[in-house]
Every structure is written in structure tokens, then in C-alpha cells.
Amino acid sequence: MREALKFYIDGQWVDPVEGVKPLDVINPATEQAFGRIAIGTAADVDRAAKAAAAAFPSFSRTSRAERLELLGAIIAEYQKRHADIAAAITEEMGAPAWLATQYQAALGMGHFQIAMEVLKGYSFEEDRGGTRLVKEPIGVCGFITPWNWPINQIACKVAPAIATGCTIVLKPSEVAPFDAVIFAEVMHAAGVPKGVFNLVNGDGPGVGAAISSHPLIDMVSFTGSTRAGIEVAKNAAPTVKRVAQELGGKSPNIVLDSADLATAVGGGIQSMMLNSGQSCNAPTRMFVPRPKMEQAKAIAKATAEAITVGDPNGNSVIGPVVSEVQFNKIQGLIQKGIDEGATLVAGGPGRPEGLDKGYYVKPTIFADVTNDMTIAREEIFGPVLAMLPYDTLEQAIAEGNDTVYGLAAYVQGDEAEARDVARQLRAGQVNINGAALDLTVPFGGYKQSGNGREWGDHAFAEFLETKAVIGWGAAQAAE
């Protein structure tokens, strides 16, 4: 039984201000509690924010070399705990061990490595005539992170914040908190100065709202649902702090007539099913030329039925979804797809055969979906794909953009044609022909998928203010 009944504040593990209020953490593969955390309150956030604010004046003035040394120490300690972080992720949110090790934990490491490389050459100052423009750390940053890619979302915020000289108050998801606890141990072992990194476990109404509204917190970065993101923005508004958000998605995957159908459909389904479909940028709406729909259905059915579901510590491709709440929501939306007349190609309601315990969902494919159906509009956040036929490319692009979201999009087919389509899609990232993930490029969305950008050098901008010092070089400018 894992336990984390203290919070990491001001360089030490401390008891909650108002006493321990325990919360069981459930293993979604067994439906049993495997650990407990303490749930924090606004008083704990206040304590952490004050520690971060006290640490900011000195940490914000550290040199590039000092921060590079610190990032290197964090990476070294992270490497020592890589396996521990992966094991925690498998236990708390059900990612198969191979996925937790090779992707989930590895991506966390990757963001620190990228931040270190960016920092080496990042320009914090620029002269324009007699004026010097200076980019300075914004201050205390509040981070509220999700359960689906937990350490990835922590690292892609913490790494650039440390690199730019900011201090941090983190609230990880209470559904998947133990990887964050191990990460706090990593930060401590790396010698992060006290108060620079603080962790308070808790829920959204108690700790998340307190972070969003706290007057000592200068910016808040949130990853999660659009509904919760709206509440974060409302809570942040009275203090006029900067708000950066990465929210929901309903990403189109346009299969061009020129695409190799087996590669495009099969690859699109495998990408969508990764992490049990619990990725905000998953390609959940596949647009297929109408004359090729029957062939695409056959490929989709075979692909989905080859995806093994089961024990995340075994050899399964996908494990359970994260919780009973999530399982019930997905089941309801699968039934909604059936009720609204979509063609069920594979999967369907209920658990996969042979699994009577755990929040397992059948890899499910719907075809003949229209863009007004619920399963084409709502973010399902499970292993459920909607296939939509199109008659013209213009229709596919228009329907692809016909969503409140705009986080990601995908195009498969002739490269020149795919590039032209990519330019017309309203999304923060567009992937052509299954290109590999690139952690150096900006990640974030249009419309209700959020604002701001994470990853690489674009992430640094979120944690910097720009100061114009007029007259800095007046004498030189006059010459």
C-alpha cells in the first residue's frame, strides 16, 4: 500500500495544515485501493505559495550556467527513478508497463533534456537602438496537471519554468498522484533550492481553485477538460494572472483519396487507441472517401479486433481506462452512438470477453457517422473511433474544422496535397503521414482547446515577462 500523507513544501515533507484528510487511490485494473494520499486545502496552497514567493527573488537571479547545472542534476536523478515512475503510472492509471516505461516516463525525461538544450542558446536580452528588451521570469507558477499522461504534463511545465528562473506550486491529479510524489523526491535529491518546487495533493475545488485564485501566484498553467479550464480562468480573473491552458480535443484524421488505405486506416486506429484512447490529441474522427468506406470498415474491424486488452503488467496493447467514472461515461457514449444510428464495426458496450473486473473497454469502431452525432461532437476519451464518409475534400476539411476544439489534426496521403490540407485545418498541431513525435515544436490548441504553447522554445515564452529598458544604450545609439 502506497502512502503520501505529506506535502513537499519549502524543501521538506510537511503535514497538511488542517490535518490529514485521506483519499484512497484506485488501481483501475483491479478496482481496489492500492494507496492513500492526503487531500490539501487552501491553507496548504497558501503555505506553498508563500514558500515559492520567498524563493523567487534569489532563484530568478540565478545564472544560465547555474540553471543548466540544476537541470542536469534533475535529469541524473530522474534517470535513477525512471522505473519507479513508470511502475507508479501503471498502477495508478492503468498504462501498460511497456507504454509507461517507453513513452510515459520517457517523455518526462525528454522535456527536461529539451529544456536544457533550449536554455543553452536562448536569448533573454535584445537591443533595439538605445532600448534593451529583457525577458524575465514571470514569478510564481501554479501548475494543475491531469492523470492521462501525468509525468509528461508535469515535466513539460516544470522544465521550462526551472529553465527560465520561475518557482512552482504543483497540484497533480488526485487520480494519479504517486508519480508526482516520486518526482518531488527527484527534485529534492537533485538539490533544487527550497521553495523553488512545491507539491500539494488535492482536488480541483479545494486545491486547484486555491492555486488559480491565489494572489501570490503570477501565472497558472492547466491541462485538463475544457469545462474545468473555464473554471480555472474564472478563478484566475480577479488577480489578472496569466493563464495558459491545454484542454480538450476532437481531432480529425483526413484520409485522402491518394492514401494507402491499409496504412492510413490501420495506423490511424493504432494511434488513436494508444493509452486506451485517453489522449487529448488522439485522432478520434477519421474522414474517409465515401467510395472507400466499405474497404476502410474491413481494415478497421481487423485492426481493432487485433488490439489486445488486459492486465497492464502483461503483454496487452491497452489496459483499462482510468476510473469507474470514466468507464461509465465511455459506455454511455458507445450506447449513444448505437442509438443515434452509427454502424458498429467493432467492439461495443461492456467489457472485453474474459475480463469481469477492471475498467476495461472494448476497442470500438463506429462507421457511417455524421458530424452532428454525439460521438462526433463530444470528447469520449476512450478507445472509441468515429469514421465519417466524405464526398469532396472541401467537405472533409469543413467538417474537420466543424468542432469547438482545435488541438490537433492528421492528414494521410500524397505529401503535396496533405500539406495543402494541413494549411486549412484549424489546429495547433497537424501531423502528416504519421510523422514521429517532436518535443521541440510547440504543442497547444486553437479555439476551446486552450491558449498558449508548451514544449521546446515556445514553452519558455509562457514563463517570461518582457521589460523594455529605455535609455539603456542611449550614448551608443547616439554615436
Which residues carry out catalysis?
Answer: 246, 280
- Spatial CB neighbours of 294, under 8 Å, sequence gap ≥ 6: none
Adjacent-strand bridge partners of 23:
37
8 A C-beta contact, residue 139 and residue 195: no
The Cα 427–Cα 407 span in angstroms is: 5
Helix (H) or strand (E) holding 338: helix 324-339
8 A C-beta contact, residue 39 and residue 23: yes
8 A C-beta contact, residue 178 and residue 4: yes
Task: Give the three cell numbers for residue 270.
Answer: 493504432
Tell me the DSSP string of 420-449.
HHHHHS-SSEEEETTPPP-TTS-B--SGGG
Instruction: Report the largest interatomic distance among the alpha carbons of the chain, rounded to a whole angstrom.
Output: 82
Q: Give Cα separations from 442 to 120, 209, 249, 382, 452 (angstroms).
A: 18, 27, 16, 25, 9
> How close are the terminal C-alpha atoms of the chain, in Å?
71
DSSP state of 204: I
For the beta sheet containing 140-144, the strands, ordered from the edge strand earlier in sequence to the opposite edge, are 12-14, 7-9, 197-199, 167-171, 140-144, 219-223, 242-246, 450-451
Adjacent-strand bridge partners of 143:
170, 221
Residue with cell string 529598458: 469
The Cα 65–Cα 86 span in angstroms is: 30
The Cα 84–Cα 68 span in angstroms is: 25
Give all strands (DSSP E) within 259-417, no chain letters. 285-289, 343-346, 364-367, 384-390, 408-412
Question: Distance from CA of residue 475 to its chain's centroid?
Answer: 48
